[in-house]
Amino acid sequence: MEIKIRPATINDLEDIKKLNAMLFQNEYDNFDQTLDLKWPFGQEADDYFKKRIAGDGCALIACIDDKTVGYLAGGFHQFGPFPGMAESSYRTLPNFSELENMCVVEEHRGKGIGTKLCQEFLTWSKAKGAVRMSVLASANNPETVNFYRKNGFIDYDLILEKDI
């Protein structure tokens, strides 16, 4: 079994959207019921993933025997507010990349595919001039949080929310 990581093409759009829908469904069912389960199939998702595929950011595909088993999408940010902060943020950072979303088909998890996607994104990020990477993960999803920690991410900020 050979795992291949390659840049996504427009021909991968439907596979990416299906995987993104799986990611949304899992997150919605287990961690975050504020997610819009229609988003992965809407025009905003189309536009977002097409931009990442076209080179405004990064879109990667993981394949085993020419079958898509995972994807990663991310972006690059030049000198500015930290992601999720207001434009007038008190905090600025040097060039950084953001791993925006990633999914590996459940039956292929634990085989190093996510790590290979992260490593390829790190290579892309460095080539763009990023000196820092960020990722947002649900605090209630210890499997995902531990995966990112294993891949060198450290806890930095904690966002707390409350239903009212």
pLDDT band of 77, cuts 50, 70, 90: confident
Express each pLDDT in 18-66 by its tens digit: 999 999 999 999 999 999 999 999 999 999 999 999 999 999 999 999 8
80 Cβ contact list (under 8 Å, min separation 6):
87, 89, 92, 93
What pTM, to 2 d.p., does this model score?
0.89
Q: Give me the helices (H) in the chain, please.
A: 13-30, 43-54, 113-128, 142-150
Residue 88 has pLDDT above 60, yes or no: no
pLDDT band of 84, cuts 50, 70, 90: low
72 Cβ contact list (under 8 Å, min separation 6):
58, 59, 60, 62, 99, 101, 102, 117, 118, 120, 121
